[in-house]
Amino acid sequence: MFDHAGRSYVADLSGSVQSHSATGEHRWTTRLNAAISASPVLDPTDERLFVGTHDGTVAALDTARGTLAWRRSLPSHTDPRILADPLFLPGSKAVLFSSWGGRGWLLNAADGEPVTDWNAGAFPRAAPAADARDVVFFLRAVPERGVEWVRRHPGGDEEVLHLEPDPPQGATPGRLTAGPLLDEGRSVAYGVLPLGATARLLAWDLDADRVRWTRDLPAAVHAPPGLLPGGHLVVADLAGHVHRIDPDGGIRFSVSLECDYLLAGGVCPGDDRWILGDPLGRLNEIRSDGSLHRRFLAPRAIQGRPAIDPSGNVLVPCMDGTVYRLANQTA
């Protein structure tokens, strides 16, 4: 991730957090006491970086030096890992974490003190989303019931907006990994609901407070959906296909990347292209006409989401432990 000055912040499974300048010079490295797989989040001032680890530790780092501002262990009766990306709530001046043990936590950003906690469901790995008023939307897997589409207000009131019952073969809560996506300009929120080997994309009308439409997808989905200009959606699935979906729910086209699965989402460079990696190490660009272009071949799999810096360069995390920087390319 990048701050407003173009400085980058990278966390990894060794427990290290690193920062580099906009021109690539190393600024600092801080090592925490457990692996990190959830993407850290910055506060709006770029002064603190919030990180969650596999042993249930959450930490706030000073972005100027990488020093610890505070650290806290979230209690868990089962598995303490934090696998869902944290979320900063500017109006509440708080940061939201979800423990794999099934609790959601809202912590004061200044000192890490708990504000409140709630039921996050079985194995929460799907990151939440929030609107401009700090209203949080998240998906919650409830064994023997199904997947709940939940809205939580800043005061703590909670509403289950929609329930997707368990598929006939039973719940698969561990595969609930694709978090919600908000498009406030068009008054819609999107969620990917698991249906066993397939998935259902749900569009929630924020004005009418009801389901606007649903679209069944042919394979399960691990990555969160992405948004293109004009309100079009992009969804990558576990069969190696990328679907472009119109704002009314119609599938514009589906592109096969000719790989077995797609774990991570992609990124839009500001126009109508969608860029994402695959397990064969290829960086793929899909254009608005459905054409597929290969931009880069890495030595190993690309299983993380690319990022774009303020200059338009694409940064690609690879399983060889390297982040590759590709110069800004136009269509």
Each residue's pLDDT tens digit, 102-161: 999 999 999 999 999 999 998 888 999 999 999 999 999 998 889 999 999 999 999 999
Instruction: Please give the share of the chain, as a percent, with pLDDT higher than 70.
Output: 97
pLDDT, tens digit, 9 for 90 and up, residues 161-171: 999 988 766 54
- What pLDDT was estimated at residue 107? 97
pLDDT, tens digit, 9 for 90 and up, residues 197-246: 899 999 999 999 999 999 999 999 999 999 999 999 999 999 999 999 99
Pull the structure tokens for residue 238.
């576990």
pLDDT, tens digit, 9 for 90 and up, residues 39-76: 999 999 999 999 999 999 999 999 999 999 999 999 88
- What pLDDT was estimated at residue 271? 87
- What pLDDT was estimated at residue 331? 46
A 10 A CB-CB count for 286 gives 22
pLDDT band at 287 (very low <50, low <70, confident <90, very high): very high
- What pLDDT was estimated at residue 169? 64
- What pLDDT was estimated at residue 24? 86
- What pLDDT was estimated at residue 260? 95
Contact 192, 201 (CB under 8 A): yes
Report whether pLDDT(174) > 70: no
Report whether pLDDT(277) > 50: yes
- What pLDDT was estimated at residue 171? 46
- What pLDDT was estimated at residue 221? 94
Predicted TM-score (pTM) of this structure: 0.92
Phi-psi region of 47 (alpha: psi -120 to 50; beta: other; left: phi over 0): alpha
Give the integer Cα–Cα distance in Å for 32 and 263: 25
pLDDT, tens digit, 9 for 90 and up, residues 249-259: 999 999 999 99
DSSP per-residue codes, 61-74? EETTT--EEEEEEP
Pull the structure tokens for residue 17.
């957090």
Pull the structure tokens for residue 147.
């997947």
CA angle 108, 175, 119 (to 5 degrees): 35
Contact 78, 56 (CB under 8 A): no
Pull the structure tokens for residue 325.
């920087």
A 10 A CB-CB count for 226 gives 22
Contact 48, 28 (CB under 8 A): no
Pull the structure tokens for residue 52.
């969650």
CA atoms within 13 A on the CB side of 274: 26
167 φ/ψ angles, rounded to the nearest 5 degrees: -65, 165
pLDDT, tens digit, 9 for 90 and up, residues 8-43: 999 999 999 999 998 889 999 999 999 999 999 999
Give the integer Cα–Cα distance in Å for 58 and 51: 6
8 φ/ψ angles, rounded to the nearest 5 degrees: -105, 155
Pull the structure tokens for residue 171.
């719940």
